[in-house]
Amino acid sequence: MKKFYITTPIYYVNDRPHIGHAYTTIAADVLARFHRLKGNEVFFLTGTDEHGAKVAQSADQEHKEVKAFCDENARLFKDSWANLDISHDKFIRTTDPEHEQAVKKFMSNLQDQGAVYEGTYEGLYCTGCEKFITEKELVGGLCPDHKKPPESLKEKNYFFKLKDFLPDVAKMIAANEIIIEPAGRRNEVLGLIKQGLDDFSVSRESVKWGIPLPFDPGQVIYVWVEALQNYITAIGYGRDDQEFSKWWPADIHLMAKDIIKFHAIFWPALLIAAGLKPPRKIFAHGFFSFDGQKMSKSLGNVIDPNALVEEYGSDATRYLLLTQFPFGQDGDIKADLFEEKYNADLANGLGNLVARISNMIEKFLDGQVLLKKDQRIKEAGEIEQNILDLKFHEAFVSIWEVIGRANQTIDQEKPWELAKKDQARLEKVLTDLAQVTVNVADLLQSLMPKTAKKIKSQFLAEKIKKQKPLFPRAET
């Protein structure tokens, strides 16, 4: 049995969960479930990032006490993940006392190693990004992501000696000791390191909502530096050495490309400085726009994943999000396509297949077919490999080819006619179809867990009976 430790980013609680967050979390869930099915011991971590100026300002704007505001929004993330059948083993909040204590230990450790020094930061800061930003990065004087002017700061900070650790990080990436995927992202990261990066601040003076720096409590730990540590504090760093060494290093940190620099450069450097191993793999998927536009609060085009679950169900939402475009690439989500794809692929494709076959087996064979336990379809190995490689889109396409062929077989063989003239052939055709359906359900276990379970219990029952439609047609 192998251990498999997988994480998502911890999401800022200034925002409600939207389908961008859901996308990463669903992908992580698929991988976590897949590894569990393969018999591996899995730890799947997700959670919320709650400190820093951005969250404090959002709470202020809503006239709420900041911790109460965090509690409320963290709850929304938890509820959304429950709605989407996310099977995380732990939901960490950076306001958890356990996290705060372990972070202080890590910071003291960095200090003991001589990896931080006191200095003055004079420059720009974008609160929307929670990031120190340079003139060069601005577009027309504005942060390109938030379209807002950054703040000018001059304050005492503690700095991390990033430059001392960059050569090690670069070497480990080049040797694939730290794997960065997809390949384009790896090149991007190596390019960034080559250009050279400056030491960065690990604390802030003017921010109040955060964890005090243990060796200078007038400073608050920079929210990103603290947030990254969730990946180790969640599994016992500074608290339970045995548990920590069981899970660390992470087998995969999953995220979108927006935060790759923090994960692939800053985080490994911090870990190496503290004498810890860097993560095994960092996978940064693409970003999606919605109907051609960036999703944003101000444009009002942010889709709540719960609304999709309400309309289509959790498995259909997982399907609709993961089949938009290949995982890893950027893409556009088109609202109109949701219903069209739901009806074509789920109601007519898989749903109809299951309904037709179970109906005919009930009617013509008294619900009885003899299925083989260890039979798989010939594509199974390739499909599983695609899931393991995070090629969810490809996996779905192959599964839906199998579904399409099975529906065609029904049309060609016309079992309702065979029932009148060729009982042996009827039995063979329906048995083969039932077998394929169960195999499809097996392959769907990590991707669409509820559906897979329903199909399996229907087809592995003593008598196969028609059930309620898996995906009732959607009409607007």
Active-site position among 2, 171, 208, 297: 297
Annotated catalytic residue 88: no
Q: In this complex, which beta carbon is closest to ligand MSP, that of residue 92 or of residue 166?
A: 92
Query: Is 146 a catalytic site residue?
Result: yes
Nearer to ligand MSP, 145 or 216 (CB): 145
Active site residue 70: no
Choice among 38, 64, 105, 146 that is catalytic: 146
- Closest CB to ligand MSP belongs to which residue? 20
What does the H/E/C string look like for the chain? Answer: CCEEEEEEEEEECCCCCCHHHHHHHHHHHHHHHHHHHCCCEEEEEEEEECCCHHHHHHHHHCCCCHHHHHHHHHHHHHHHHHHCCCCCCEEEECCCHHHHHHHHHHHHHHHHCCCEEEEEEEEEEECCCCEEECHHHCECCECCCCCCCCEEEEEEEEEECHHHHHHHHHHHHHCCCCEEECHHHHHHHHHHHHHCCCCEECEECCCCCCCEECCEEEEEECHHHHHHCHHHHCCCCCCCHHHHHHHCCCCEEEEEHHHHHHHHHHHHHHHHHCCCCCCCEEEEECCEEECCECCCCCCCCCCCHHHHHHHHCHHHHHHHHHCCCCCCCCEEECHHHHHHHHHHHHHHHHHHHHHHHHHHHHHHHCCCCCCCCCCCCCCHHHHHHHHHCCCHHHHHHHHHHHHHHHHHHHHHHCHHHHHHHCHHHHHHHHHHHHHHHHHHHHHHCCCCHHHHHHHHHHHCCCCCCCCCCCCCCCCC
* C-beta closer to ligand MSP: residue 148 or 405: 148
In angstroms, what is the minimal distance from the CB of 384 to ligand MSP?
24
CB nearer to ligand MSP: pick between 286 and 367: 286
Give 54 or 356: the residue with its C-beta nearer to ligand MSP. Answer: 54
Active site residue 35: no
- Is residue 143 part of the annotated active site? The answer reads yes
Question: What is the binding site for ligand MSP (CB under 6 A)?
Answer: 9-12, 20-21, 23-24, 49, 227-228, 230, 255-256, 258-259, 287-288, 295
Smallest distance from ligand MSP to CB 11, Å: 4
Q: Which member of 2, 67, 90, 294 is catalytic?
A: 294
The catalytically annotated residue of 70, 99, 143, 393 is 143
- Cβ 24 to ligand MSP shortest distance, Å: 3
Which residue out of 99, 126, 341, 391 is catalytically annotated?
126
Min. distance of Cβ 43 from ligand MSP in angstroms?
A: 16
State the minimum distance, in angstroms, from the CB of residue 261 to ligand MSP.
Answer: 11
For residues 91 and 287, which CB has a smaller minimum distance to ligand MSP in the complex?
287
CB of 102 to ligand MSP, least distance (A): 14
Which positions are catalytic?
18, 21, 126, 129, 143, 146, 294, 297
